[in-house]
């Protein structure tokens, strides 16, 4: 079904693996188009309750495939048609989207990881913006997410120096949330994501909406949104199960709705 991706669906988890290991999963236009399709499918599939995005081989994603992408007067159109839809699909998906960064995440590949709801890092993971190294600026949503994760000054420091940030530092400055050893990274990151896939998926989607909109809302607007979304959450089957399980002192069995 896909030429540049490996897509597996098991235990309510959709695992999407970028599959161009010979070029560290560089983003060709074909890969980006297929990734849009895979993300749309995962969003619409009611059996999918979380998405795990990772890379085949020793890299997560080395960024744009510059050997097959022209930097010309149509670059803005290329970004809008191919890169930005991927970021929008991840950002707006009403389900958890987790990046499992198994190696280098560079340029637009770093942007792809930053767009995810959270990042699980291998001890072999590393981030590098890369853009200013070839006199370009951030794209594919990187400039939106990076300062929100690590702050303005640190974002500018990484952009100006174009230095590589390895796994331990990445965790310390806020580029990643969970760190696993490289030797069992595929297994451990998948098990972690599967646990999230067992959670109250529709509630997670509402929480994601709360966090996303908090960047634009003032205090009063956010209070109104909280009340509105709580009213929706309280009517869900998972809320009924969660409250019942709490009263019965047992673990809830969420169905994601």
Report phi then psi at 54, rounded to 5: -150, -175
User: Cβ(18)–Cβ(5) under 8 Å?
Assistant: yes
Same domain, 27 and 148: yes
pLDDT at 234 over 70: yes
Report how many domains make up the chain. Answer: 2
Whole-angstrom distance, CA of residue 43 vs CA of residue 151: 30
Same domain, 124 and 222: no
What's 170's domain CATH number? 3.90.226.10
pLDDT at 70 over 70: no
pLDDT 10s digits, 78-124? 999 999 999 999 999 999 999 999 999 999 999 999 999 999 999 99
Same domain, 95 and 144: yes
């Amino acid at each position: 079904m896909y030429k540049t991706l490996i897509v597996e669906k098991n235990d309510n988890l959709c695992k999407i693996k970028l599959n161009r290991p010979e070029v560290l999963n560089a983003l060709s236009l074909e890969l980006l188009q297929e990734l849009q399709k895979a993300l749309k499918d995962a969003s619409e599939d009611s059996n999918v309750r979380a998405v795990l995005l990772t890379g085949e081989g020793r890299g997560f994603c080395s960024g744009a495939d510059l050997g097959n992408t022209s930097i010309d007067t149509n670059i803005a159109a290329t970004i809008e048609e191919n890169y930005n839809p991927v970021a929008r699909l991840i950002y707006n998906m009403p389900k958890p989207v987790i990046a499992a960064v198994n190696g280098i995440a560079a340029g637009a590949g770093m942007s792809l990881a930053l767009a995810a709801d959270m990042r699980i890092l291998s001890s072999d993971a590393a981030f590098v913006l890369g853009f200013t190294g070839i006199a370009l600026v951030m794209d594919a949503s990187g400039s939106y997410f990076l300062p929100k994760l690590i702050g303005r000054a640190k974002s500018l420091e990484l952009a100006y120096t174009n230095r590589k940030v390895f796994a331990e530092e990445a965790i310390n400055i806020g580029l990643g949330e969970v760190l696993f050893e490289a030797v069992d990274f595929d297994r451990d990151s998948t098990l972690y994501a599967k646990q999230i896939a067992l959670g109250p998926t529709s509630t997670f989607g509402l929480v994601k909406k709360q966090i996303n909109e908090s960047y634009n809302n003032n205090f009063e607007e956010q209070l109104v949104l909280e009340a509105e979304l709580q009213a929706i959450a309280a009517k869900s089957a998972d809320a009924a199960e969660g409250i019942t399980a709490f009263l019965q002192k047992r673990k809830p069995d969420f169905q994601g709705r």
